[in-house]
Amino acid sequence: MKNPALPRNSFLELAQSTEICDSNKGVFFIDGIFGPIAEAKISILDWGFLRNDSCYDTVTTWHGKFFRLDDHINRFLTSASGLRLSCPYTADEVREILMAVVARSQIQDAYVQAILTRGRPPPGSRDPRLAQCQFHAYAVPYVWIATPEVQERGLNMIVSHIPRIPPESVNPNFKNFSWLDMERALMEAYDQGGETVVLVDFDGNITEGPGFNLFAVNSGSVITPDRGVLEGITRRTVIELCTEVGTHCQTSTVTKDMASSADEIFISSSAGGIMPVTILDGKPIANGRPGPLTEQLRKLYWQKRESGWHGTAVNYS
């Protein structure tokens, strides 16, 4: 149905703009079929949609190479078995499909998701065990939580009062789309003039934010929450990079005070790598500029990715 508020030819103009063309770039794999991302559709009756009963993983390519592909596939299959979702494909087959969506899209710097939904139990049944799980995948252009321009100045972050869904209810290590806590917190942050948000646990300690882990640096030592968070693959990478630059990264409780008095704060995600936070709850972190350790780790991360570290080349031919 046409949107009556939209003048007839403005849609045409919009459709010809690069913005729309770029957002249409990408390839899906659904029901065993590849196709252009603009035509991707799944059933409204899939419990992935009706119950949020699903798991997923996000892996990226940079200059045509996947980063830690097997780590992402292992985590995806661990999430699936943790949530009793049965993947119709083996690890090798998932790998092949992820390779294929990127190769077919011809995207060099890609944001790639593997998704497993519960599917649909027989009509009238409410028993998830009777459903046949569905595997989906897609590749689109790389997505940044903070663009390189925003990373130059650092993110403006709010600490939400909304607690992250507790791990006893939904284990964050089974990577899932239960994001309503994070979406609510993000809305709250936008209302307060922030650009992003980090959630607390029921004791008020820092957990994680929409799509990222958080790190605080104090007197040269790095700390990241050890509980109530997804053990991000980039988080693991940060811990390794810290060792490489001779800094210890501790996984432990991070209180709100530890965050607000930190010398530096940064976040980690497949969607953007290592990204500085320079304002927390409206106050600058230290001098309000990205900190030296954050910058060192951020540069090292991209240098190493560009040199093919933990990389798996995509065969585009």
Verify binding: residue 196, ligand PLP, rule CB under 6 A.
Answer: no
Pick from 209, 207, 181: which is nearest to 269 by CA?
Answer: 209
In the complex, least distance from residue 81 CB atom to ligand PLP, rounded to whole angstroms: 18
Verify binding: residue 201, ligand PLP, rule CB under 6 A.
Answer: no
In the complex, least distance from residue 180 CB atom to ligand PLP, rounded to whole angstroms: 12
* 85, 214, 230, 297: which one binds ligand PLP (CB under 6 A): 230
| Coil, strand or helix at 289 | coil
Verify binding: residue 111, ligand PLP, rule CB under 6 A.
Answer: no
Burial of residue 184, with CB atoms counted within 10 A of its CB: 0-12 exposed, 13-18 middle, 19 or more buried? middle
Verify binding: residue 131, ligand PLP, rule CB under 6 A.
Answer: no
Element (H, E) at 100: helix 91-105
Nearer of residues 75 and 120 to ligand PLP, judged by Cβ = 75
Burial of residue 16, with CB atoms counted within 10 A of its CB: 0-12 exposed, 13-18 middle, 19 or more buried? exposed
Kindly identify the residues of this chain, within the stretch 51-80, that bind ligand PLP according to CB under 6 A: 58
Span near ligand PLP by CB under 6 A; candidates 37-45, 125-133, 149-157, 267-275: 267-275
Verify binding: residue 46, ligand PLP, rule CB under 6 A.
Answer: no
Could you tell me which residues come within 8 angstroms of residue 214 by beta carbon, excluding any fewer than 6 positions away?
A: 198, 206, 208, 224, 225, 254, 259, 265, 266, 267, 277
**69-82 and 91-105 helices cross at what angle (nearest 10)?**
120
| Coil, strand or helix at 102 | helix
For 39, which DSSP code? G
94 phi and psi angles, rounded to 5 deg? -60, -45
Span near ligand PLP by CB under 6 A; candidates 91-99, 186-194, 232-240, 288-296: 232-240
Residue labelled with tokens 């509980």? 227
* 61, 234, 278, 294: which one binds ligand PLP (CB under 6 A): 234
Q: How many residues bind ligand PLP (CB under 6 A)?
A: 13
Verify binding: residue 269, ligand PLP, rule CB under 6 A.
Answer: yes
Verify binding: residue 278, ligand PLP, rule CB under 6 A.
Answer: no
Q: In whole angstroms, give the CA distance from residue 72 to residue 57.
A: 7
Nearer of residues 208 and 264 to ligand PLP, judged by Cβ = 208
Nearer of residues 111 and 135 to ligand PLP, judged by Cβ = 111
Verify binding: residue 160, ligand PLP, rule CB under 6 A.
Answer: no
Q: In whole angstroms, give the CA distance from residue 276 to residue 236.
A: 17
Verify binding: residue 270, ligand PLP, rule CB under 6 A.
Answer: yes
Verify binding: residue 225, ligand PLP, rule CB under 6 A.
Answer: no
* 211, 225, 290, 311: which one binds ligand PLP (CB under 6 A): 211
- Residues in contact with ligand PLP by CB under 6 A are 58, 208, 211-213, 230, 232-235, 268-270
